[in-house]
Structure 1
Amino acid sequence: MPLDVDHQFHLQERRLAQHAAKGLSACVGMPAAQYFTDRIPVSGVSRRFAAREGLDVLTHDVLVLEAASQEVRSEPCLALTLLFEGEGEGVILGDADGPALGVAYRPMTWYASFSTRALGARSAAPAGSRYRLVELRVSHDFLARLGRLDDVMVLDARHPRHCMSRPGVWVGAAPVTPMLARVGEQLHAAARAEQVDDLTLDARALDFLALSMDLIVPREAARADGLDGRRRRRVQEAATLMRAELAHPWTIAALARRIGLGEKTLKQGFREVYGVGVIGYLQDQRLWRARALMTEQGVSVIEAALQVGYANPSHFARLYRRAFGVSPSRAIRQGGEPGHGA
């Protein structure tokens, strides 16, 4: 369903009840107002919650009314972002430590950025683009209290999710796993609620942090038995093929032949990289795409089902209700507009 445009931008900030500070604490990384402000042509809502000392939760659902570019300043932190919708480019500006580094924004992508020094950055967004995302900003002190700071300090170009890096900054990216997508949507919904439940928001934020850290620093078992780089790339290629043709009647055997892996290796690889089996991954991607078609583009239930490969609308509706807890028709009625509650 199209986003309602009221040509107004709303930034709302507060601390969660669990936060030890008496007032709103200083932002981690950079002020929320640097993302989208009333000085640039956007409409929608951004919310920032100070969840813990050194942990911020940010959610954005905005529409860019005119092509925009802005520069921001970020202090050292770990930023974890799940971009549901959005396009454009982000650039870390060049300085004495190295040249500029750019990354394209892609929907349903997870990004991680870790910095050990202050950085300048610039983002560019085309007119008409909608940005719907959740982000955690985590301080070095918070990571140290969790015992995870050393894990991120050693990130380099050899990491399987490495996207770009130079002294003082590392950026990684990966397609969103079905589990991370679910938790991200739950976090986004909790933050958008008219009456935010602080306990639920805090719990979903910690879930999102834990899943993100698993993507950055795999558990020891995964390291010991993991895929080598070549086979991991083949598994990711298989996922890309399925996402590009969701309506295709994919089978594990056909997919394995396309990418040059054995069926057993393909199935094991999907479990390791995406946390779900091949067919489970395909089903999740189909349902998420159908959800976007219905709630953001106004496509009918039957047409959405057909576009993602389900010829039987009743079967599609059962799978959809099982995944999202509501029927497809109710999802259409609820729509996808940004929240405006306090």
Structure 2
Amino acid sequence: MNLRVEQRALAQSDQDDVVVLGPNPADTTFETTSTEGAYKILGVRPGLTISVFDMVIGADFAGRFATEPCVAIDFLFEAAGQGWLLDADGERLSSLPYRPGRIYIMAAPKGAVGFYDVPVGTRFKGMDIRVDTTLWQKLGAGDILSSLDEHHSLHIASGNGTWVGVLPVPPQLLAVARALFDSAMVENDDLAFEARALDIVHASINAMRSIQPAATIPPRDRRPLQRARDLMIAELSYPWALDGLAREIGLTQKRLQTGFKAMYGYSVYAFLQEQRLLEARRSIESGEVTVTQAAMNVGYGNPSHFSQLFLRRFGVQPSRLRPSETGKYQEAQAR
């Protein structure tokens, strides 16, 4: 088996065995996989498990998955491919594209089954936080589940009693997620790990509660508006213009502008700029590209203008976030 799998409970979790709520590579069905890398499943406390993974996908990494009743919060740092929710007969329902830099949340109060397909050679890196429905209720978030339907502004897929959405991506939440991932992979500070995990669950609950269904948007406009968002995220470097985007989704410019603002809380251009800057920050922090390359990759031909926007958004020059040879950010060294 090329995939190194570790499964354990945190020292303070009062668990003898970890109850895995989602997919489990320790299962015998994974024994012959050609996928390489590391996969850790950590029991934080009863009803809360976290999986962290950094894998290069092999030819046989495709198939069904199942989850117990839970709410799942997923951060994808590197990803490609897609998944589908399945109905009771195993037929594919809504599709779910896997994209880096996104926070997905899945509410499956009765459990769920699905199918995934990731291209061979893809680096799949991220983490999966699963909260069972009993703990979710104890955390005071049970009311959120009743507001999740296909008309909710965060919705991207649903079917067979399961709902999937994409949460906003505040940099501070991603920073906590990266710290949690790193601590799971290289450290054994269980108390710090639990604190970060609860911070993420709390922040996710607040984000879901603060964004309510956009009741004033005509139902016929919701899917085109979701498509507009997905088109921009999929091609951040494209020089999107309102008239072209409106034609692409089949709405007038006015319906695009007013509907998008009501549905996502951003104007079209403000949303596009936010996603561009978040993706640029992710690629700069990872060390994949230079600052100039990061700017070009998300559609900014003027590095100076990009740096000004970046500084205004994050309060730091992008060059300060380049990893140094010692693995620490230059921003930290400059303090």
| Shift, 1:137, TM fit | 0.9
| Shift, 1:184, TM fit | 3.5
CA–CA distance in 1 between the matches of 2:111 and 2:260?
Answer: 42
CA–CA distance in 2 between the matches of 1:154 and 1:35?
Answer: 38
The amino acid that maps onto 2:123 is R
CA–CA distance in 2 between the matches of 1:182 and 1:173?
Answer: 20
The match for 1:311 among 302, 326, 329 is 302
The match for 1:143 among 136, 143, 156 is 136
Deviations 1:190-215 (A, max 9, x none): 23232244444334323332343355
Equivalent in the alignment of 2:182: 192
| Shift, 1:63, TM fit | 0.9
Ranges in structure 2 where 5+ consecutive residues have no aligned partner: 329-335
Asked if structure 2 preserves the Cα contact closer than 8 Å seen for 1:30 and 1:75, the reply is: no
Deviations 1:255-286 (A, max 9, x none): 999962389957954xx726x67666444422
CA–CA distance in 1 between the matches of 2:94 and 2:292?
Answer: 40
Identity, % of aligned pairs?
24
Give matches, 1:246-257, under 5 Å. 246-247=236-237
**C-alpha spacing 1:259/1:201, structure 2 compared with 1 (3 Å):** farther
**C-alpha spacing 1:58/1:324, structure 2 compared with 1 (3 Å):** farther
CA–CA distance in 1 between the matches of 2:10 and 2:113?
Answer: 29
Equivalent in the alignment of 2:290: 300
Equivalent in the alignment of 2:158: 164
Equivalent residue of 1:330, what SS? coil
The range that moved more, 255-264 or 78-87, is 255-264
CA–CA distance in 2 between the matches of 1:67 and 1:297?
Answer: 30
The match for 1:212 among 189, 193, 204 is 204
CA–CA distance in 2 between the matches of 1:119 and 1:266?
Answer: 31
The amino acid that maps onto 2:73 is L
Asked if structure 1 preserves the Cα contact closer than 8 Å seen for 2:50 and 2:130, the reply is: yes
Equivalent in the alignment of 2:333: none
Equivalent residue of 1:33, what SS? coil
| Shift, 1:241, TM fit | 5.7
CA–CA distance in 2 between the matches of 1:149 and 1:119?
Answer: 18
TM-score (norm 1): 0.70
Question: Of the two structures, which has the highest relative contact order with CA contacts closer than 8 Å and spacing of 6 or more?
Answer: 1
The amino acid that maps onto 1:306 is M
When the two structures are aligned, how many residues end up with a matched partner? 318
TM-score (norm 2): 0.72
| Shift, 1:218, TM fit | 4.6
Equivalent in the alignment of 2:52: 59
Ranges in structure 1 where 5+ consecutive residues have no aligned partner: 1-6, 336-342
**C-alpha spacing 1:328/1:124, structure 2 compared with 1 (3 Å):** same
| Shift, 1:18, TM fit | 4.7
CA–CA distance in 2 between the matches of 1:294 and 1:333?
Answer: 16
Equivalent residue of 2:18, what SS? coil
Q: Indicate yes or no: 2:105 matched with 1:112.
A: yes
Asked if structure 1 preserves the Cα contact closer than 8 Å seen for 2:7 and 2:18, the reply is: no
